[in-house]
Amino acid sequence: VMKDHEKECECFSCKNGEESLHELEQKMIEKYGWYCHIIIDNDEQSPTGFNAHTHNLQEKYNHPDIQIVVPINHESIIAILHSIVDNYIKKGITLKEGEEYDKIIQYYKVTFFNTKECGRNVLRLILPDVNGYIQQNEPMDKNFSLQYE
């Protein structure tokens, strides 16, 4: 199955096999037009080791896929990604690097950062630190400033 996984790994791919994962991805594309992977640790494509990212937004909506690298719970990730896709991307709104958005997460501003993930262009969602800082030129907490690496 996947390299570097332990024998008792509980991820979908290890429990069900790569072929089942690809079948599930195809079903998600047919149902929603996109799908999400969440890698909880040791991902070299992320400055934090955590990497949640979408697939198929570029193909379906001509919009870069979205990446989140702050380790938050799966339910929040899915809710945030659905908010982005349903309220912006499906409506033809192109999200832009550096612009602030206040309707993605209630009570918080977020922004985006252009980067690469597995060789493809993605927009990384920049989540605010505890003080609400999201811009590189602000005194952002160092754990949150990793989002810009």
Whether residue 4 has pLDDT greater than 60:
no
Stronger pLDDT, 32 or 115, i.e. the higher one: 115
Task: Give pLDDT tens digits for 29-78.
Answer: 899 899 998 988 888 889 999 999 999 999 999 999 999 999 999 999 99
Helix (H) and strand (E) counts for the chain? 5, 6
Report field, pTM of the whole predicted structure over 0.85 = yes
Percent of the chain's residues with pLDDT above 70: 89
Task: Give pLDDT tens digits for 6-20.
Answer: 556 666 666 667 777
Indicate the average pLDDT of the chain. 89
User: Is 47 in a helix, a strand, or coil?
Assistant: coil
- Dihedral sign for Cα atoms in the order 56, 57, 63, 67: negative
At 80, the amino acid letter reads: I
Q: What is the mean pLDDT of residues 109-130?
A: 96
- Dihedral sign for Cα atoms in the order 85, 122, 120, 74: negative
- Give strand pairing partners of 101: 110
Whether residue 133 has pLDDT greater than 80:
yes
Phi, psi of 114 (to 5 degrees): -75, 130
- Dihedral sign for Cα atoms in the order 46, 48, 49, 52: negative
Give me Rg for the CA atoms of the chain: 16
Task: Give pLDDT tens digits for 95-104.
Answer: 999 999 999 9
